[in-house]
Amino acid sequence: MSVDLKPIRAFLEPAHSALAEKAEAFGRDVLASRKPPENDVDARSEARALVKLMGEAGLFAPIQAQDYRGCCLLREALSFHSPLADAVFALQALGATPLFLSGTPLQLALAREAVTGAEMGAFAMTEPEAGTDAHAMACVARRDGDGYVLNGVKTLISNGGLADFYVVFAAVERGNPKSISAFLVDSHTAGLEFLRPLVMAAPHPLGEIAFRDCRVPESARIGREGEGLKLALSTLDRLRATVGAAACGMAARALGEAVGHALTRRQFGKPLADLQLVQEKIARMAIRLRASRLLVYEAAWEKDKGAERVTLESGMAKAFATENAQTVVDDAIQILGGRGVLKESMVDLLYRSVRALRIYEGTTEIQHLLVAAQILKPVKA
């Protein structure tokens, strides 16, 4: 299996074995035969196809169940076979989770549609001048009668120009971060514009959108006014460990590709795997992967068993797993040599895909600050 359950068995429930088998079957029977997209247009078409296939297969169910260990298992398995399929899962989780946490009955109905794959979501928070510093958010939702009028630009939005709905964060009072609220905006709403695609090294539907006097009813607000930032951080706190799981899936695939190559490629009259320097790399890769998975599933387990916040655990998991996955993939390319940097190589796709995981949903540096704050807080108190 692409997901080895033995090292993480202590963190799982019996039902997770069946979920892992379902994810493995989907990867083997559906994803393995699909060619990775080569450009942005193809990536958008493939993402739309994948969300439908994954919904029909029931792979989004753990999002609704708020089963974060299940989400980790799925992201690990999906990223092993297809970084784009993993991104599709991640974006459905980001789009639907705020609705499951604070949505009205109508918003919950849309979230359930997203879980079936019938609707595609997006999480619109980042702006040209507001990334990690959410307090610098310039997008405004001005109150107007029985609704709000949105104005502003959101950038680096995954599924930008592709999503059926956006979870949008905007300040009700310009310059007041305490007024940031969340809104559910249909992609066909007048005043919502797709400005341009943003092309990544690894094909991924990323884009920039704008709101120009985009009017939404009060019923579009998710949760209470002024609680948008809290909702965004709560969503990220829940899902951050799953980013680490995706990194583990990519690292596991890279390790497998490296081992396979080392056993079959002969140099100096013997397989590469007989060379001690290659063995050292393989051992280091395996150790990094094992440690990363333990941190990831511990964080998800803590959340699943009822912890209100897992800022420390998820921060550690994401930072450690994504940084080490980058190293593992780089070592795999070094073992494969020239073959590893060919565009047709799986490890080349992994190399281009894994880099973004160290940035989105909070950079490694921000995770370190969050972890340090959690450690220092009780001592200061």
294 vs 246: CA distance, rounded Å: 13
- Cross-strand partners of 170: 181
**Amino acid in the structure at residue 1:** M
Catalytic residue among 225, 227, 361, 365: 361
**The two structure tokens encoding residue 368:** 């370190």
Whose structure tokens read 């964080």?
A: 299
Does residue 120 contact residue 51 with C-beta atoms inside 8 Å? Answer: yes
Q: Which of 293, 194, 302 is nearest to 245 (CA)?
A: 293
The yes-or-no answer on residue 365 being catalytic is no
246 vs 251: CA distance, rounded Å: 9
**The two structure tokens encoding residue 228:** 């948008």
**The two structure tokens encoding residue 56:** 């029909």
137 vs 333: CA distance, rounded Å: 39
250 vs 330: CA distance, rounded Å: 11
Among all residues, which ones are annotated catalytic? 361
